[in-house]
């Protein structure tokens, strides 16, 4: 920060006068005043919090009651208002929704297309794009939509909807829609707000119905994701969809023959184009060996991968999972709005709250229906008595001076029948009786009236039975949904446990490793120097030096490791078959030790020592044996008149294989001239 923006601490603390914090009508002092500039932090503190709250509550995160974001709710509400059984142009739906949504047509159109592609709430007609290929939908003026039968059954009921004014106060819109199904878990959702995000994976329709029934019966249940794109999924770390869990999703790869692989299903969130691009990039980097990738996708996914000659198809399948978008990992994050606050829940908790909400809505609908029938029954009873007793022909009624007198006479005549009525007779009821037309009176049939009253009483008894057994009534609701719509939603994603693929084991060894012993460099770019072996970009190299040091380092283009290199080769982690046979001298003129050991796992780029670490120690003999071979060596001592035998042999097979840090066995304490293989 420059000196012009440094201010005393006291000034910063008193940047906005007390009582004016967060008020939109508060205006800072003259902007040329240095103090006024510091009021920006106060604006940031209050206005940014308001902005963040708006994005979280009104844009990006779904509500737990109906599982919808505000834009989705407004779209469905608009489509319900336009609903007449026929398709509407998407452009018309978008325009109608703009009465309720404070943002532009593009955001509404995109949200509607996403709803339509989920194939649950919207019945689509025309080119709505393709989730497999990633192709976009046609322009809104060319495509049409209407609400699906499922949406009409499950999502709407104006009698149980809580309403609020739209952003401009001209219209009413729902606070939340009365959805009687765990829609949030069926569709899934992804949204990025300010400071938090939500990512709820879609689940299977039938499994949601079954889980809801299990919960109502107080039984255990488990839910796992299911995707329109198919594939297979490992849910061992799903953690009930809670924040911190993860799932791995794989494409479905079939072997047509030894030279051709076919990808039939792709992971969720990927497209055919992205999968093909990832395969081509992996091939260019040399991680897999293929001749070409062929995209034959039309209605269903079909990507053909043609292999290079001599390449293992099984190894290539593993490599596709390891290095391409044929396998992806997704971390769910169940964030929802509940009671005007964001909450992080589990999938099971969301389902329980949804089922509780559905039960409550069904009870409300039954109670509203009962009240309506009771009201109809009340008036039917009044009407029957009014007509059968010919109250309308009474002289007092016909000669009544005014309306009040007529109402008093009717009320007096109805008084003996009050015990038969559902509720008290009001003046509004009497006025309604007086509005009955003569044609209806002439056509009145007492038997039909009795039949209608009996039918309404039977309906009320049935509703009372449902209210008394509301749990089983809710269970029947989910069974109805499953039987009516479940056949359209078979499980597409196979549940499996994946084996962990080690990338270093399936990557193609398409690089060549070289070494420059004189200058101490090693790498794949030293093409004029000594060739060591084939390798891959993911391999490590183990290097032994003459002074007993050794280390493991990643393969690179050119890397300085040090001079006096004794041995270098590609290192295989956890390799117990490769055995190193070593004779080393401890110190400048110390004892010679013999040892056999394996190097299975060490930290990269950290130096270790074959010897005991004594200065001037030196490796006198070294071999690396990939199959654990043990050779016989010939040891020649320096001439010494006191030593009778200056040449002797030692068999490594007699030496036990121990840990790499073991000191080893004593070979000789005498000075050694040379050691050679017999």
- Length of the chain equals 678
Instruction: Give the DSSP H or E segment for 469.
Output: none
| Tokens standing for residue 443 | 């056509």
Q: How far apart are CA 460 and CA 188, in angstroms?
A: 39
- Cα 336 from chain centroid (whole Å): 14
DSSP 8-state class, residue 182 = -
Instruction: Give the DSSP H or E segment for 328.
Output: strand 327-330
CA distances from 356 to 78, 120, 475 (A): 27, 22, 12
Q: How far apart are CA 540 and CA 567, in angstroms?
A: 14
Bridge partners (DSSP) listed for residue 314? none
Instruction: Give the DSSP H or E segment for 570.
Output: strand 565-571
**Catalytic residue status for 142:** yes
- Cα 508 from chain centroid (whole Å): 32
| Tokens standing for residue 16 | 């906005």
Bridge partners (DSSP) listed for residue 531? 514
From 492, 496, 62, select the one nearest 238 (Cα to Cα): 496
Catalytic member of 44, 51, 142, 418: 142
Is residue 266 within 8 Å of 272, Cβ to Cβ? yes
Is residue 209 within 8 Å of 351, Cβ to Cβ? no
User: Within a 10 A sphere around the Cβ of 518, how many other Cβ atoms?
Assistant: 10
For tokens 């395969």, the residue is 279
Q: How do 592-597 and 657-658 pair as beta strands?
A: parallel
Helix, strand, coil share (%) of the chain residues, nearest 5: 35, 25, 40
Q: How do 232-234 and 494-495 pair as beta strands?
A: parallel
| Tokens standing for residue 470 | 């509301």
From 132, 508, 134, 493, select the one nearest 320 (Cα to Cα): 508
DSSP for 164-181?
EE-TTSSSEEEEE----S
Residues with active-site annotation: 142
């Amino acid at each position: 920060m420059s000196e012009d923006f440094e201010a005393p601490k006291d000034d910063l603390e008193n940047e906005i006068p007390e009582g004016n914090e967060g008020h939109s009508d508060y205006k800072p002092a003259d902007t040329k005043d240095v103090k006024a500039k510091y009021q920006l932090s106060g604006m940031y503190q209050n206005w940014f919090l308001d902005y963040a709250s708006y994005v979280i509550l009104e844009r990006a995160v779904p509500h737990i009651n109906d599982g919808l974001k505000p834009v989705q709710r407004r779209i469905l509400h608009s489509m319900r208002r336009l609903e007449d059984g026929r398709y509407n142009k998407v452009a018309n739906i978008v325009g109608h929704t703009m009465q309720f949504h404070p943002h532009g047509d593009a955001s509404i159109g995109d949200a509607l297309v996403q709803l339509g592609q989920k194939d649950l709430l919207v019945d689509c007609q025309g080119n709505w794009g393709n989730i497999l290929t990633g192709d976009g939908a046609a322009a809104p003026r060319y495509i049409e939509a209407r609400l699906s039968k499922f949406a009409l059954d499950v999502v709407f009921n104006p009698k149980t909807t809580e309403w609020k004014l739209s952003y401009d106060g001209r219209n009413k819109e729902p606070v939340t829609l009365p959805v009687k199904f765990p829609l949030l878990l069926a569709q899934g959702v992804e949204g990025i707000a300010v400071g938090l995000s939500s990512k709820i994976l879609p689940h299977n329709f039938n499994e949601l119905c079954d889980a809801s029934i299990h919960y109502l019966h107080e039984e255990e249940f488990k839910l796992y994701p299911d995707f329109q794109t198919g594939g297979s999924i490992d849910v061992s770390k799903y953690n009930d969809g809670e924040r911190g869990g993860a799932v791995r999703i794989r494409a479905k790869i079939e072997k047509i023959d030894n030279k051709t692989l076919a990808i039939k299903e792709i992971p969720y969130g990927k497209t055919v184009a992205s999968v093909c691009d990832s395969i081509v990039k992996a091939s260019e980097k040399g991680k897999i060996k293929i001749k070409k990738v062929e995209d034959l996708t039309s209605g269903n996914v079909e990507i053909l991968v043609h292999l290079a000659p001599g390449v293992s198809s099984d190894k290539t399948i593993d490599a596709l999972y390891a290095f391409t978008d044929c396998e992806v990992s997704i971390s769910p994050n169940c964030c929802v709005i509940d009671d005007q606050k964001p909450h992080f829940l589990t999938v099971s908790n969301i389902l329980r709250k949804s089922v509780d909400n559905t039960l409550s809505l069904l009870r409300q609908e039954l109670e509203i229906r009962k009240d309506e029938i009771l009201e109809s029954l009340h008036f039917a009873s009044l009407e029957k008595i009014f007509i059968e007793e010919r109250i309308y022909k009474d002289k007092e009624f016909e000669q009544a001076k005014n309306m009040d007198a007529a109402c008093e006479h009717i009320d007096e005549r109805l008084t003996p029948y009050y015990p038969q009525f559902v509720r008290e007779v009001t003046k509004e009821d009497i006025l309604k009786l007086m509005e009955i037309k003569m044609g209806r009176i002439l056509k009145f049939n007492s038997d039909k009236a009795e039949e209608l009253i009996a039918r309404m009483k039977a309906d009320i008894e049935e509703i009372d039975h449902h209210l008394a057994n509301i749990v089983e009534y809710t269970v029947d609701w989910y069974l109805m949904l499953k039987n009516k719509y479940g056949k359209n939603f078979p499980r597409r994603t196979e549940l499996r446990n994946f084996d962990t693929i080690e990338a270093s084991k399936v990557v193609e060894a398409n690089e060549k490793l070289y070494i420059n012993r004189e200058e101490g460099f090693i790498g794949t770019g030293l093409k004029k120097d000594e060739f060591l072996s084939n390798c891959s970009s993911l391999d490590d190299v183990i290097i032994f030096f003459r002074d007993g040091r050794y280390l493991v380092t990643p393969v690179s283009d050119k890397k300085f490791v040090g001079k006096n290199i004794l041995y270098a080769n590609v290192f295989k982690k956890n390799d117990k078959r490769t055995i190193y046979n070593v004779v080393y001298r401890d110190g400048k003129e110390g004892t010679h030790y013999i040892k056999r050991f394996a190097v299975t796992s060490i930290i990269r780029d950290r130096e270790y020592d074959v010897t005991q670490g004594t200065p001037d120690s030196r490796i006198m003999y070294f071999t690396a044996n990939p199959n654990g071979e043990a050779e016989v060596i010939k040891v020649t001592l320096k001439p010494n008149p006191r030593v009778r035998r200056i040449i002797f042999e030692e068999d490594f097979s007699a030496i036990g294989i121990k840990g790499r840090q073991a000191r080893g066995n004593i070979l000789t304490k005498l000075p050694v001239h040379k050691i050679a293989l017999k």
